[in-house]
């Protein structure tokens, strides 16, 4: 089998037989599209590292509290979904997943954007919405291919200037944080446009003062003009 979906009314653990399927490419253990099911896995076994050919691993909506270091041996992994679990940290070994381009971490208990994630240079999609993140490391600048970054419903009070180096960003959702200001170079993210394409950039639910919401709503050009005027004063 190249693709396997495991389902059950109450899935508590991964059947040991799965780890013998060394040609498996897609493993799905998520009730996302089956609302009648409730999965309760708390631990992804170390043996997950045996599935060296995995390209996609779906384990949303379980009760995972820890991801084993062996996840870093899945060198072919391209898509990993861990949303709606109970994760408070991620293993440093995740930084070895250099083919990973899509990572879903929404609705966990992360308090920071883990440094290993900033090593994933192939990443194009990152969702860390609805966590408890209060800082973004400057090393985020290494995610040069990132196109979508979702940071809604966290505890961010500021953004590093380095986030403005992510020139491939097309979607940046920052709603419902504690942001009072944006970096001075924010207007250089020319593929973002809150004013004309609402889905592109979102600031709602922040106490923004610099620039004020009415400036942000007019897009990156007006944001650049705003900061330029401050320099002239």
Q: According to the 3-state scheme, what is the secondary structure of 79-139?
A: EEECCCCCCCCCCHHHHHCCCCCEEECCCCCCCCCCHHHHHCCCCCEEECCCCCCCCCCHH
| Confidence band, pLDDT 50/70/90 cuts, at residue 130 | very high
pLDDT the model gives residue 219: 78
Segment 155-211, tens digit of pLDDT: 999 999 999 999 999 999 999 999 999 999 998 998 887 766 667 888 889 999 999
Q: How is residue 5 written in tokens?
A: 């979906």
d(CA 153, CA 140): 19
SS3 170: coil
Q: Which long-range contacts (CB under 8 A, 24 or more apart) does 153-158 make?
A: 153/129, 153/177, 154/128, 154/129, 154/130
- Domain map (residue ranges) of the chain: 1-102, 110-232
- Residues listed for the chain: 233
Mean pLDDT of the chain: 89
Residue 68 and residue 46 in contact, taking contact as beta carbons nearer than 8 Å: yes
Residue 74 contacts residue 47 (beta carbons within 8 Å): no
Proportion of the chain in helix, strand, coil states, percent, rounded to 5: 25, 15, 65
Q: Fold match between 1-102 and 110-232?
A: yes
Tell me how far apart the alpha carbons of residues 56 and 118 are, in angstroms, rounded to a whole number: 20
pLDDT, tens digit, for every residue of 74-106?
999 999 999 999 999 999 999 999 999 999 999
Beta strand 3-5 with 125-127: parallel, antiparallel or unpaired?
unpaired
What's the CATH code, domain 110-232? 3.80.10.10
Is residue 43 pLDDT above 90, yes or no?
no
Say if residue 39's pLDDT is above 80: no
Q: Which helix (H) or strand (E) holds 144?
A: none
Residue-wise pLDDT for 201-233, tens only, equals: 888 899 999 998 888 877 788 888 898 888 765
Helix locations, the chain, DSSP H: 213-216, 220-232
CATH superfamily for 1-102 is Ribonuclease Inhibitor (3.80.10.10)
Q: Which residue has the higher pLDDT, 116 or 26?
A: 26
Tell me if 141 sits within 8 A of 165, measured CB to CB: yes
- What's the Cα-to-Cα distance from 147 to each of 75, 106, 118, 121, 231, rounded to whole Å? 22, 17, 14, 12, 30
- Per the CB < 8 A criterion, the answer to whether 101 and 125 are in contact is yes
Tokens coding 117? 């994630």
């Amino acid at each position: 089998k190249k693709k396997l979906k495991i389902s059950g009314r109450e899935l508590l653990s991964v059947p040991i037989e799965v780890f013998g399927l060394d040609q498996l490419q897609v493993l799905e253990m998520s009730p996302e599209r089956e609302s009648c099911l409730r999965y309760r896995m708390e631990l992804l076994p170390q043996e997950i590292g045996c599935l060296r050919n995995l390209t996609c691993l779906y384990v949303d909506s379980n009760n995972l509290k820890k991801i084993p270091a062996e996840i870093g041996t899945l060198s072919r992994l391209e898509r990993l979904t861990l949303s709606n679990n109970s994760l408070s940290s991620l293993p440093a070994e995740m930084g070895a997943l250099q083919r990973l381009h899509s990572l879903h971490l929404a609705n966990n208990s992360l308090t920071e954007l883990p440094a290993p994630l900033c090593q994933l240079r192939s990443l194009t999609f990152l969702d860390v919405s609805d966590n408890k993140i209060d800082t973004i490391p400057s090393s985020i600048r290494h995610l040069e291919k990132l196109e979508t970054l979702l940071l809604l419903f966290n505890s961010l009070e500021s953004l590093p200037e380095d986030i403005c180096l992510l020139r491939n960003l097309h979607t940046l959702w920052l709603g419902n944080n504690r942001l009072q200001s944006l970096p001075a170079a924010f207007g250089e993210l020319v593929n973002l446009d809150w004013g004309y394409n609402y889905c592109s950039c979102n600031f709602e639910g922040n106490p923004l003062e610099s620039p004020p919401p009415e400036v942000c709503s007019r897009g990156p050009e007006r944001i650049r003009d705003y900061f330029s005027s401050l320099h002239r004063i």
